[in-house]
Amino acid sequence: MIDIENSSPHRVITLVTFFLWTLIGFSQSNYKEFLRGESQERKLELSLEMWNYYIRNDIDSLNIRVSSSDQSTVNLLIFKASMLRNLGSYNVRSGYIPEGLDLLLKARKIFTVSNELVLLSETENEIANAYFVSANYTKASRMYLSSIQIGKKSDDNTAGLSAMLSLGKLFCTVGDTILGIKLCAVALSQLLVYDKFETSSDACSFLGMIYSELQEGELMRAYYTRSLIYSEQAKSKSNMANALNNQAILKFSSNDLDSSLILFRKALELRLEFGQRRSIIESYFNIGGFYLETEQFDSSEVNLNHSLRIAEEVNFLPDHLDALISLQELYILRDDREIELIKVELEIDRVSKIIKQNSIIDIEVYKTASKFEEKIKELYETKPKPLLSIVNLGGICLILSILLLFRANRR
C-alpha cells in the first residue's frame, strides 16, 4: 500500500490510476488533460471528477500511483487528502475495511482543518458506509448525522443528502422502518430537485425492497419502476446493474420466472465487471433466493454459499447474516442437511451477537433524525434551487402520494 501521508513534498501524489487502454473517451480525455495541466487547482478538480466517475463505473481501476509534482501549491494538503479518500474508498468497496477506514479518517482530519466542507461531508459519508457494512451501526449513525450537518453548512445544495438516505437505510436495518422510510423519502424529494438521478434511483430501489418485505406490492412496484426511470438517466454501470436487478424482481413478482433469472444473471455479470463486492454479494444472494423460491435447492445452495463466502472474506456482517438465514431456510426445507443446519444456526447466533453489540443508536441521533422532515426547509430551502423539471415534479408527486398511502395503511 502506498504511504500517501508520509510522502515527501517532492513526491506528492498527482496521478490517479483510473486508466486502462480500453476505457471510454470521457475518462481518457480527462486523464490527458490531467497530465498536461499546469494548474494544481485544475488537477485537483479533475481528480475529483474522475473519482466520482470511477467509484460508479470501474471500482477496480480506482487505485493510486505516485508521481512527481510541483510542490509549491496552496492546495497540496487538500490534494493529498483527496488521494487518501480515493484510495480509502477503493479499499472499503473492495472489502479492505480497516485499511480503507484508516485512510478515510486521515483524509477527514485534513478536510476538517482546511474547512473543506463538501469534501468533509462526502468523506464522512464514506466512513459511515464502512461502519455500516461492518454492522457498526452506532458509529455509522453518528458519522451519517455529522455528514448531514456539515453538508448543511456548505455551499453545495446536495451535500449531506446521500448521508440522509443512508441514515434512513440504517434505521430500517435496526428495525425502525417508519423513521427509516421517512428519512429516505425526504432525501429522495430533495435529490430529485437537483437532478441527482443516480442516488434517486438507489433510494427508490431501497424503498422498493422495503415495501416488498412489508408485502406492499403496489408500493414495491411503484418504487422499482421509478428506480428504472432514474437509472436510465444516471447511466452509470452501478445503476445499470441495479436497474437489471430491479427488473428481475419485478419480473419475478409477475411470475415471469425465465425473464427474471436472465436479468438476475445479467446484473451479476455487470457487477462482476464493475468489481464492487457488496453488489456481487447481493447478486449471488438474489439468484440463490430465486432458486430457493422455485425449489431448485442445489442451485440455491451453490449461489447462497457464494454470497456467504464473499461476505465472510470482506467482513460485511449484515450480508453475512442474510446469507446464513437463507441457508437456514434452505436446510430446514431439506431433510438431508441436518449437520449443515446445526452449523448455520450456530453461526447465525454468533454473528447476531456481534451485530447486536454495535446496534445501539444514540438518543441524540434519533431526536435529530426525527426532526428532519419538519426541518428540511431549514436545512436546504434557504439555498437557491433550480426550477423543477417535469420529470422531477412527477417524481416528487409520486413520493408524496406514496407517503400518504403508507400513512393511511398504518392508521
Helix (H, G, I), strand (E, B) or coil at 294: coil
Q: Which residue has the higher pLDDT, 19 or 379?
A: 379
Average confidence score pLDDT of the chain: 79
CA distance 369 to 197: 23
300-327 tens-digit pLDDT: 999 999 999 999 999 999 999 999 999 9
Res. 31 pLDDT band, cuts 50 70 90: very low
Nearest residue to 321 (alpha-carbon basis) of 303, 287, 345: 345
pLDDT of 39 reads: 54
pLDDT of 399 reads: 53
Find out whether 121 and 160 touch, Cβ atoms under 8 Å. Answer: yes
pLDDT of 45 reads: 55
Neighbours of 35 (CB within 10 A): 13
- Looking at the chain, which residues constitute the CATH 1.25.40 domain(s)? 116-194+371-411
DSSP H or E run through 71: none
Q: Which residue has the higher pLDDT, 9 or 162?
A: 162
Q: Which residues contact 36 (CB under 8 A, 6 or more apart)?
A: none
**Does 24 score more than 70 pLDDT?**
no
Q: Which residue has the higher pLDDT, 61 or 222?
A: 222
191-241 tens-digit pLDDT: 999 999 989 999 999 999 999 999 999 999 999 999 989 988 877 778 888
Find out whether 97 and 62 touch, Cβ atoms under 8 Å. Answer: no
Res. 107 pLDDT band, cuts 50 70 90: very high
The one-letter code for the residue type at 108 is R
The distance between the two most distant Cα atoms of the chain, rounded to a whole number of Å, is: 71
Helix (H, G, I), strand (E, B) or coil at 67: coil
Q: pTM score, two decimals? A: 0.75
Q: Residue with C-alpha cell 430501489?
A: 205
Lowest mean pLDDT, pick from 300-309, 349-358, 400-409 = 400-409
Query: What is the CATH T-level fold of the domain 116-194+371-411, as seen in this structure?
Result: 1.25.40
Mean pLDDT of 183-192: 92
**Does 126 score more than 70 pLDDT?**
yes
Region of 296 on the Ramachandran plot (φ > 0 left; ψ -120 to 50 alpha; else beta): beta
Find out whether 92 and 104 touch, Cβ atoms under 8 Å. Answer: yes
CA distance 261 to 72: 56
Per the DSSP assignment, residues forming a β-bridge with 217 are none
Find out whether 324 and 347 touch, Cβ atoms under 8 Å. Answer: yes
Total residue count of the chain as it appears in this document: 411
pLDDT of 378 reads: 54
DSSP H or E run through 270: helix 257-274
Region of 3 on the Ramachandran plot (φ > 0 left; ψ -120 to 50 alpha; else beta): beta
230-277 tens-digit pLDDT: 988 877 778 888 889 989 999 999 999 999 999 999 999 999 987 788
Mean pLDDT of 43-52: 54
Neighbours of 347 (CB within 10 A): 18
135-151 tens-digit pLDDT: 999 999 999 999 999 99
CA angle 280, 285, 286 (to 5 degrees): 100
pLDDT of 49 reads: 55
**Does 72 score more than 50 pLDDT?**
no
Res. 26 pLDDT band, cuts 50 70 90: very low
What are the grid coordinates assigned to 359, written together? 446496534
Res. 51 pLDDT band, cuts 50 70 90: low
Over pLDDT 70: what percentage of the chain? Answer: 72
Q: Residue with C-alpha cell 403496489?
A: 218
**Does 62 score more than 60 pLDDT?**
no
Angle, to 10 degrees, between the axis of helix 197-213 and the axis of helix 161-173? Answer: 10
Torsion angle, alpha carbons of 254, 258, 261, 262, to 10:
-120
CA distance 95 to 312: 10
8-state DSSP, 196:
-
pLDDT of 264 reads: 97
What are the grid coordinates assigned to 205, written together? 430501489
16 φ/ψ angles, rounded to the nearest 5 degrees: -95, 120
Q: How far is CA 163 from CA 141, 191, 194, 196, in A?
A: 9, 12, 16, 14
Q: Which residue has the higher pLDDT, 390 or 379?
A: 379
**Does 188 score more than 70 pLDDT?**
yes
